[in-house]
Amino acid sequence: MNRSIISAEVLPFLGRFGALVLATLIVDVFLHLLGLAWVGRYLGIPGTLLILLSFFYSMRKRKLIAIGRPKTLLRMHEVFTWLGALMILVHAGIHVYAILPWLALIALLVTVLSGMTGEYLLERGRRHLAAKRAEQAAAGLAPVAVEQEVFWDTVTVDAMKQWRTVHFPITLAFGVLGLAHILSILVFWQWR
């Protein structure tokens, strides 16, 4: 247990996030090979709908609705936001023309990252820290010395605990920026 939380937990966690980026690339290449790149243009719609559906968990947690089991809705929230983020990433593609939709995309990615921190990382980080403390104490170190040994891991876990502080406001930012993007499309789209 000499590895830090960053190498033991954070890097593999980033690998999970990287799976989202890899899935985006695979889907994009697949669509281009089949001559269906135009599908990506419209994937923003189902992607947004999936993310909106995922908010049933948020409403249930705040008792705005009474239907559904929180645990089931939380799992639905995690899956739908991952799939919705995938569709929106494919929709965004790699071309950068307008600033607003890319700000919305960055907000989306920060939201996903902070949410995944709460989902995967925090509990594993806490367990890793507790195990490391126990190991150091078993080796005969005094409590002060133990805290010195696990100082940076403690800082890392404390940072992870703040995931909600990031997740909620950035979700608001994503919502507002995404809505502004959708409104601009509605106003300027070539409907005929």
Partner 1 sequence: MNRQRVFYVVAANLVVLLALVLLYPHLMIAPGHLIKAHAALEHDCFACHTPLLGSRPARCQQCHRPNEIGLVTTKGLPIVDTAKLTPFHQGLVERDCVACHSDHRGVRPYRQIARFSHRLLQGSLLEQCSGCHRAPKNELHQALTGNCGQCHNQQAWTPATFDHDRFFRLDGDHNTTCITCHRGNDYTRYTCYGCHEHSRAGIREKHVEEGIYNFDACVECHRSGDDKEGGHQGRSGKRGEGKDGDADEDEEKEDDD
| Minimum CB distance to partner 1 smaller for 50 or for 51 | 51
Question: Closest distance between partner 1 and the C-beta of residue 192, in Å?
Answer: 6
How far is the C-alpha of 87 from the C-alpha of 167, rounded, in Å? 20
Return the residue matching tokens 């995922």.
54
| By CB under 8 A, residue 62 contacts partner 1 | no
Stretch in the footprint of partner 1 (CB under 8 A) among 9-17, 45-53, 95-103, 135-143: 95-103
| By CB under 8 A, residue 110 contacts partner 1 | no
How far is the C-alpha of 174 from the C-alpha of 121, rounded, in Å? 22
| Minimum CB distance to partner 1 smaller for 66 or for 97 | 97
How far is the C-alpha of 178 from the C-alpha of 40, rounded, in Å? 17
Phi, psi of 49 (to 5 degrees): -60, -40
Stretch in the footprint of partner 1 (CB under 8 A) among 9-17, 56-64, 100-108, 146-154: 100-108
How far is the C-alpha of 26 from the C-alpha of 154, rounded, in Å? 37
Question: Closest distance between partner 1 and the C-beta of residue 27, in Å?
Answer: 18
| Minimum CB distance to partner 1 smaller for 7 or for 165 | 165
**Contact pick of 66, 67, 99, 138 for partner 1 (by CB under 8 A):** 99
Q: 116 is written with which tokens?
A: 């995944």
| By CB under 8 A, residue 97 contacts partner 1 | yes
Phi-psi region of 52 (alpha: psi -120 to 50; beta: other; left: phi over 0): alpha
**Contact pick of 87, 154, 164, 178 for partner 1 (by CB under 8 A):** 164
How far is the C-alpha of 30 from the C-alpha of 33, rounded, in Å? 5
| By CB under 8 A, residue 182 contacts partner 1 | no
